[in-house]
Amino acid sequence: MNELAQVLKLTLHEKRDVALAIVFGVLAGLASVALLASSGYLISKAALTGQMTVLIVIGACLKLFGLGSAVSRYSERLFSHRATFTMLGNLRVSFFEKLSPLAPELYSKYRSGDLLARIIGDVESLQNFLLRVFYPPIVLLLVFSGTILFTMYFSVYTAILLAVGYLLTAIVVPAYFAWRKRRRNWKTRESRGALSAEAAEFLYGFRDLKIYRQLAGKEQQLARLAESYNEEQRSEGKEEVYSQSANGFIALLVSLAILASGAYFTAAVELDGLFLAMLVMISLGVFENVAPMAAFPAHFEESRKAAVRLESVVGEKPREKGIDELPEGSLSISAKNVGYVFPGEQRPALEDITIDLPPGSKTAIVGPSGSGKSTLLAVLMDILPASSGHVLFNGISSEEFPQESIWQRLNVVLQENHFFQGTLRSNLQIADPSATDEQLASAMEKVELGGFSLEMDVEEKGQNLSGGEKQRLAIARAILKKGEVWMLDEPVSSVDSKTGQLIYERLFEGQPDKTFIVVSHDLTGLEKMDQIIVLEDGRLIEIGSYNELMRSKGYFYGLKEIEQQVMA
């Protein structure tokens, strides 16, 4: 039950609704038992006496109980569902809160949208926790207690049998099935995950699969996974039917026992036969309340697993960070002996990097593909934590500041950028929700996207935009943010050189006082940069202005030579 403690806590947030749901649940249960009991009593009494009054009194009781039961049932449903949906909301928020600080690092580890989809499934499946796991046993306990107390007055044996019946149907049988479930360990969730991951891959990789004529093979694989998911579901469904039938069977057996014992004691004149029918009706009625317990094992196991899985994702401790705010004003960034090793890797992606980026400086990072340019940028902007050394903002270690306070000051364009389903406007407004249409349009103009309407639909992941359009949209979004440090990772690699140059010029010339750090493969135009950082294999091998580097005739000079040859 430990795993569910957190969910329980969130559920109990809604104390009032949960309490009301329980109260009404108990009332409804008791009223329906009372209804059957009084009808049983009524006919027995009627069979013996000719008194009209008794009949009328009991008849009135019947109606009262009937109405009471119906109304309580209604209220119970209302409150329990309200509580459930509130809890689900709380759960989402609390999960989001926990996930949020882990975001960039966690994603570099999983990065799969499918993992997220599974997470959502888990959150969603916890909505059954209150309705089907937490509160049926409680309601059942109270209903049975009330009923048992009542029957005790008439027949101790019946009361004892009811108690035994309760133990069997509400505790022993569900516990047994929960145990079976745990032991058999259905792979339904896992096979579901596998199927949805494979389906996502099928769709995302559709073009490549088609071109390489792998569609048929993948389709078969998908069909196989669908099959095995289906089989798991089937066998789990059967288990549930089994548990339901077993529970119902035992409840009927207990009623049989109550009838037998009642008959025995009536025959032995130890029990007034007048109550026999009533007791039988009570037992039939009270066991009707047990039905939800049949689904308990499934939901319990499901909730437990969901909670465990969620915990394993968000259970990781976020990095320890200070809570200082980054001071206003100009921002200098520097790296001191920074190194970075990706989790699970032996070879460092960055080693011993020391650089200085004063306010207003323009820096280019160049180097072969895979040399660590993107990684360096990620460490500088505190998306990845330096494994060794420090990144300093105004001379203070980045560890002292929350990530948000740093990011607030940066305009970032990553190598791959996420766009949200919506419109161009909604995607731009992420940078500045209060931006006016003129501001949005002017940002679009600056990246040569002026021809697009702000209302244009943007599909999932920006798939209906061309490669270069996506890059330019990402720049436009960053323009709207108005931070003082620009960090750009190959922002125009898919844009034609002319437009690319134009955009660069507008960025640099429009805001001379801002700091720029640009990763680029294009060596033209680097003359204008204050410094050029050359990376190779994660190490900084050269640093200096264009002229310095050309003079020293080192690596950069070599690159330039190649460029000349290629161009010539």
Partner 1 sequence: MKDLKQLAFEQKIAITLLTVMSVLKGAAMIGQAVFFVLVADGVFIKGKDFGEITPFLFGLLLAIIVRSAAGYLIGRTGVDMAAAIKRQLRLKLINSFKEDPLLSSAESHSGQKVSLLMDAVDETDGFFSKYIPQLIQSYIIPIMLLAAIVSQNWTTGLIILVTAPFIPVFMAIVGKRTKEKADEKMEQLNRFSGTFLDILQGLTTLRLFGQGKKQKDKIEESSKNFRDSTVDVLKSAFLSSLTLEYISMLSIGIIALEVGLRLVVFDNLSFFSAFLIMILVPDFFTMLKDFGSAFHTARGSVSASQMMDEEFSKERKQVVWGETELAEGKVPHLSLENLHFAYNPQFELRDVSIDIEPYSKIAVIGKSGSGKTTLMHLIAGLLPIKEGSLLIDGKPQEEIEESSWFKQFSYISQSPYLFAGTIRENIAIGADRETSRKEIDEAAEKAGISELISSLPQGYETAVGEGGRGLSGGEKQRIALARAFLKKPTIVLFDEPTTGLDLQTERVLQQSIEELSRYATVITVAHRLHTIRNADSIVFLDDGRVAAAGTHEELAANFEPYRNLLPLPQGGAPR
Member of 204, 342, 555, 557 binding ligand ATP (CB under 6 A): 342
Nearer to partner 1, 339 or 367 (CB): 367
- Contacts of residue 116, Cβ cutoff 8 Å, sequence gap at least 6: none
d(C-alpha 529, C-alpha 546), whole Å: 7
Q: In the range 104-133, which residues lie near partner 1 by CB under 8 A?
A: 104, 107-108, 110-117, 119-120, 124
- State how far the Cα of 314 lies from the Cα of 97, in Å rounded to an integer: 10
Of positions 334, 361, 494, 545, contacts partner 1 by CB under 8 A: 494
Task: Determine, following the binding rule CB under 8 A, whether residue 4 of this chain makes contact with partner 1.
Answer: no
From the list ligand ATP, partner 1, Mg ion, none, pick the one residue 179 interacts with, judged by a Cβ distance below 5 to 8 Å according to partner type. Answer: none
Sheet containing strand 396-397, edge to edge, reads 396-397, 388-393, 333-340, 350-357, 539-544, 531-536, 362-366, 515-519, 485-489, 410-413
Q: Which residues does residue 336 pair with via DSSP β-bridges, in sequence order?
A: 390
- Maximum Cα–Cα distance across the chain: 121
In whole angstroms, how large is the CA radius of gyration of the chain?
35
Q: Closer to partner 1 by CB, 204 or 336: give it.
A: 204
Q: Which of 191, 255, 289, 375 binds ligand ATP (CB under 6 A)?
A: 375
Mask of contacts with partner 1, 32-51, x by CB under 8 A?
x--xx-xxx-xxxxxx-xxx
Distance between CA 125 and CA 251 in Å, rounded? Answer: 29
Q: Closest separation between CB of residue 2 and partner 1, Å?
A: 26
Backbone dihedral region for residue 185 (phi beyond 0: left; psi -120 to 50: alpha; all else: beta): left
Kindly tell me which residue out of 23, 142, 150, 214 binds partner 1, with binding defined by CB under 8 A.
214
- What is the token pair recorded at 100? 């949020």
Residues 366-385 that bind Mg ion (CB under 5 A): 374
| Residue 374 sits in the site that holds partner 1 (CB under 8 A) | yes
| Residues in 281-340 at the binding interface with ligand ATP, rule: CB under 6 A | none
Q: Per CB under 8 A, does 341 bind partner 1?
A: no
Residue type, 246: A
The answer to the question of residue 369 lying near ligand ATP (CB under 6 A) is yes
For the CA atoms of 100, 105, 106, 109, what is the dihedral angle to 10 degrees?
Answer: 160
Q: Left, alpha or beta for 8 (phi > 0: left; psi -120 to 50: alpha)?
A: alpha
| 355 is an interface residue for ligand ATP by CB under 6 A | no
Which region, judged by CB under 8 A, interacts with partner 1, from 19-27, 140-148, 326-334, 464-472? Answer: 464-472
Under the binding rule (CB under 8 A), the answer on residue 450 touching partner 1 is no
Q: Which of 8, 12, 88, 163 binds partner 1 (CB under 8 A)?
A: 88
Considering the rule CB under 8 A, would residue 385 count as an interface residue with partner 1? no
| 375/341 Cα distance (integer angstroms) | 10
Residues engaged in binding ligand ATP (CB under 6 A): 108, 342, 345, 349, 367, 369-375, 415, 464-469, 494
Residues engaged in binding Mg ion (CB under 5 A): 374, 415, 466-467
